[in-house]
Amino acid sequence: MAGRQRHRLLLENAEQLVLVCGRREPYLRRDGANRLCLLRAASLVVGLDGCIKAVGQADVIRNEFSEASFERIIDCSGKCVLPGLVDAHTHPVWAGDRVHEFAMKLAGASYMEIHQAGGGIHFTVEHTRKATEDELLATLRQRLGRMLRAGSTLVECKSGYGLDLDTELKMLRAIERARRSTDIGISSTYCGAHAVPKGKTATEATDDIINNHLPKLKELKLSGEIHVNNIDVFCEKGVFDLESTRRILQAGKDIGLQINFHGDELHPMKSAELGAELGARAISHLEEVSDEGIVAMARAKCAAVLLPATAYMLRLKQPQARKMLEEGVIVALGSDFNPNAYCFSMPMVMHLACVNMKMSMNEALAAATINAAYALGKSDTHGSLEVGKQGDLLIINSSRWEHLIYQFGGHEALINYVIVKGKVIYENERCEAMSSY
């Protein structure tokens, strides 16, 4: 019996309570990702510390907590409860509108043609360098708000539109201020090797990062001024080659950052093989990964962060999600929100992963929860509804959770509540009363 204790939240009698997993699995792969843990007619309790205290059948929880009191009780009859979604790859700090490039791409220009002509990342760098930290913070907060309302409660956020030390630090400071002042969880990534800055060779840029950027980051990390979790490089033909990528990632690892980088997107680079060798936590994109790279990633437990919105918008070859899943790779998902791929919505990303990458809905949800949390090194606290984990939750106004994926773009009406650490952060006024279909 839980006694007369006070708790933060009781979610009562959900039609479906999707735990995702229930045995503290750090990730789900192969069949595990296809067999999610789910309870019917179930309830969940979040304590005053923001962590989950109990999950189980509604009548059992009712009995156990009959004398307890709650700051808030939500009747979830006819609704589904899921873990907050985890977005394992975003670039949300930038200035300068690139809608004109979307028109160029629709007219036939490729991503690299625009980049090499000085647009793309270079365009965003120019505008981001001119923006103040407060301006960057203001747009970042708006974007994080939109992610949250689309169901993401933990997001990875990259720098990478400064390339010079001052602007990279300005971006990381904006991320740090957002982390301290918003409800959404943030994993922060230094991505100073997102492009080779104009006027420098790739080798000069690599040396600058290793000799100047990383030592400064180490100092700021130690003083507690900025918390950076991951290091990223855009390993691509015409950007950073395999050798420069190796040098930067190793130097980042040496100062305690998790390796989490862009690889094998537009050309086969052997990024997957390199990531496996360096002990990378995750590699993103992987449209052009080799068969050997897939095997190496599975063996090294290096997560594949697939980005269906980008593959869709750039009309790239789809990454081989099925092959990765069959080989035992830990498959995660990210929105890749950036000025080139303007998508905030993990429900839409899951839908694209199912339709274009042939993932099942269970696999897509595992990829957008526990596996995305693993890709950020946070699956001990996030990504499933298990006792002891953070109480980050979604309530959707439907009696079957799959509607979150099935209704393409429908999340705006489906997501009823977004909850972080047991506190309702977003209550959707527009959530329509819906039947189960």
Ligand X SMILES: N=CN[C@@H](CCC(=O)O)C(=O)O
Which parts of this chain interact with ligand X (CB under 6 A)? Answer: 91, 120-121, 124, 234, 262, 265, 310, 336, 338-341
Nearest to 282 by CA among 303, 306, 307: 303
- The one of Zn ion, ligand X, none whose footprint includes residue 153, by CB under 5 to 8 A per kind, is none
- The Cα–Cα gap between 110 and 79 comes to 44
Kindly state the smallest distance separating residue 3's Cβ from ligand X, in Å.
50
Kindly state the smallest distance separating residue 310's Cβ from ligand X, in Å.
5
Q: Toward Zn ion, which CB reaches closer, 25 or 336?
A: 336
Kindly state the smallest distance separating residue 144's Cβ from ligand X, in Å.
18
Kindly state the smallest distance separating residue 246's Cβ from ligand X, in Å.
18
Nearest to 331 by CA among 25, 24, 2, 27: 27
- The one of Zn ion, ligand X, none whose footprint includes residue 234, by CB under 5 to 8 A per kind, is ligand X
Among all residues, whose Cβ is closest to ligand X?
340
Interface residues for Zn ion in 333-392 (CB under 5 A)? 336
- The one of ligand X, Zn ion, none whose footprint includes residue 151, by CB under 5 to 8 A per kind, is none
3-state secondary structure of 125: helix
Contact call for residues 275 and 231 (beta carbons, < 8 A): no
- The Cα–Cα gap between 303 and 296 comes to 11
Dihedral pair phi/psi, residue 433, rounded to 5°: -70, 120
Q: Toward ligand X, which CB reaches closer, 246 or 262?
A: 262
Lookup: tokens for 396 = 């959707």
Q: Toward ligand X, which CB reaches closer, 234 or 374?
A: 234
Kindly state the smallest distance separating residue 243's Cβ from Zn ion, in Å.
21
3-state helix, strand, coil in the chain (%, to 5): 40, 25, 35
Q: Toward ligand X, which CB reaches closer, 55 or 283?
A: 283
SS (H, E, C) 338-361: ECCECCCCHHHHHHHHHHHHCCCH
Nearest to 285 by CA among 360, 297, 277: 297
- The one of Zn ion, ligand X, none whose footprint includes residue 265, by CB under 5 to 8 A per kind, is ligand X
Among all residues, whose Cβ is closest to Zn ion?
336
Kindly state the smallest distance separating residue 336's Cβ from ligand X, in Å.
5
Q: Toward ligand X, which CB reaches closer, 121 or 178?
A: 121
Q: How far is CA 173 from the centre of its chain?
A: 20
Tell me the pairing of strands 258-263 and 282-285: parallel
- The one of ligand X, Zn ion, none whose footprint includes residue 124, by CB under 5 to 8 A per kind, is ligand X
Kindly state the smallest distance separating residue 57's Cβ from Zn ion, in Å.
42
Tell me the pairing of strands 258-263 and 230-235: parallel
- The one of ligand X, Zn ion, none whose footprint includes residue 341, by CB under 5 to 8 A per kind, is ligand X
- The one of Zn ion, ligand X, none whose footprint includes residue 337, by CB under 5 to 8 A per kind, is none
Kindly state the smallest distance separating residue 328's Cβ from ligand X, in Å.
25
- The one of ligand X, Zn ion, none whose footprint includes residue 340, by CB under 5 to 8 A per kind, is ligand X
Dihedral pair phi/psi, residue 350, rounded to 5°: -65, -40
Each as own residue / partner, the long-range contacts of residues 281-285 (CB below 8 Å, 24 or more positions apart, any chain) are: 281/230, 281/375, 281/376, 281/377, 282/88, 282/332, 282/375, 282/376, 284/88, 284/89, 284/260, 284/334, 284/336, 285/310, 285/319
Interface residues for Zn ion in 285-344 (CB under 5 A)? 336
Q: Toward ligand X, which CB reaches closer, 47 or 120?
A: 120
- Catalog residues that contact Zn ion under the rule CB under 5 A: 336
